[in-house]
Amino acid sequence: MDIILHEVKLMHVPMLQSWLRRFPRESCDYNVCNLLSWGSIYHNQYFAHKERLVLYNPQYGYVFFPVGEWMEPEELQDLLRQMQKVNPNASLILIPDEYLAAKPQMEDIFELNIDRDWADYVYETQQMVELSGKKLGKKKNLISQFRRAFPEYKVMPLSASRRQTILQFTQKWKREREVEGIYLNTELKAIQNTLDMWEHLPVDGIIICHQERIVAYSIFSPQTEDMATVHFEKFDPFKKGSAQVINWETARYLQGKYKWLNREQDIGLPGLRQAKTSYMPDRLVNFITAKIRA
C-alpha cells in the first residue's frame, strides 16, 4: 500500500467537517479550527485509508487514530508499520478510552502511554456559568468585584476586522505577564492564523471592552454536536477579575448551544494546570499514544 499524503488546507474545511460530524471526536486535536490554525504551522497532512480519514503531524510523527468506523488493532498495527516507512519514529496518538476498553488486545500489540500534559479539560457549560459550590466561590467573588469596578463593560462579537487590535492586545498580554517560550510564541502564530482565516473557519469569539478599550477576548468553535472548544483566552492582568469574567462570559455566550466546554490542555505548565483544575473539570479527555511492541 502506497500512502499518498496531502497537506491540510483551507479548501479541506468542508471535508473535515463532514468526517467529524459523522465520527465526532472530543479531543481538541481533531477540532477543525485547530487542524488549520496550528496545523498550518506543523504542516498537518491527511490521507485516505480503508474508507477512513487519517490525519498526520509530520513534525512529531503523530498518526491520529483514524476517523471513521473503528479498525481492528491488527489493522492499526499494519497502518502504523506503513507510516513508519515515511517516518521510522511514527506513533499512533489519540486512541479513545472506549476503544481500549472494547479492544483489550491493544496492549498485546502496542506499548500504550497516557500523556497527562496533553489531556483536554472538559466542563459542564451550565456549571461554568453558575459557579455553584464552595470551591468556586472565589471565582464568583472576583467576577462580582470586576462588575462593580467596571459596571459599564460591554461584550462584543469578535470579527476579522478587529484582527490588529486582538494581536496588539495579545502582545501586550505577553509582555505584561512576562511569559516566553516556544509554545507561547507558536500560540501567537496560531492566533494570527486563526484571525487570517476567520471568514473560512467555523470559528466564533467575544471581546470584553471597557471605555472602548479591550479588556479580554476569547476564541472558540464547535467540537461535537454538544461540545464547544475554547481555543484562546487572553485578559488584562491589571484588571482584577478579568480572567474570571472572560471565562464566565464565554460560558454564558455558549450556554444553551453546547452542554460541554473543552478548554484544551495545560501542556504541563504548572500555572496553567492550576488555573484549569481550579474550575473543577467534569472529566479529562486522555491523550493516549501507542508504539508497536518490539
Q: Tell me the pLDDT of the chain (294 aa) as tens digits.
A: 678 999 999 999 999 999 999 999 999 999 999 999 999 999 999 999 999 999 999 999 999 999 999 999 999 999 999 999 999 999 999 999 999 999 999 999 999 999 999 999 999 999 999 999 999 999 999 999 999 999 999 999 999 899 999 999 998 887 766 555 566 778 999 999 999 999 999 999 999 999 999 999 999 999 999 999 999 999 998 999 999 999 999 999 999 999 999 999 999 989 899 999 999 999 999 999 999 998
Is the residue at 284 inside a domain?
Answer: no
Q: Which domain holds residue 158?
A: 120-264
Q: For the whole model, what pTM was predicted? A: 0.95
Instruction: Specify whether 131 is located in the same domain as 209.
Output: yes
Is 25 a domain residue?
yes
Query: Does 41 fall in a domain?
Result: yes
219 and 110 within one domain: no
Domain membership flag for residue 43? yes
Q: Are residues 124 and 260 part of one domain?
A: yes
Inside any domain, residue 165: yes
Same domain, 98 and 171: no
Residue 59 lies in a domain: yes
CATH of the domain at 255: 3.40.630.30
CA distances to 43, 129, 173, 192, 256 from 139, rounded to whole Å, are: 39, 11, 21, 30, 22
Check whether residue 124 and residue 173 sit in a common domain.
Answer: yes
Q: Is residue 47 part of a domain?
A: yes
The total of structural domains in the chain comes to 2
One domain for residues 42 and 107: yes
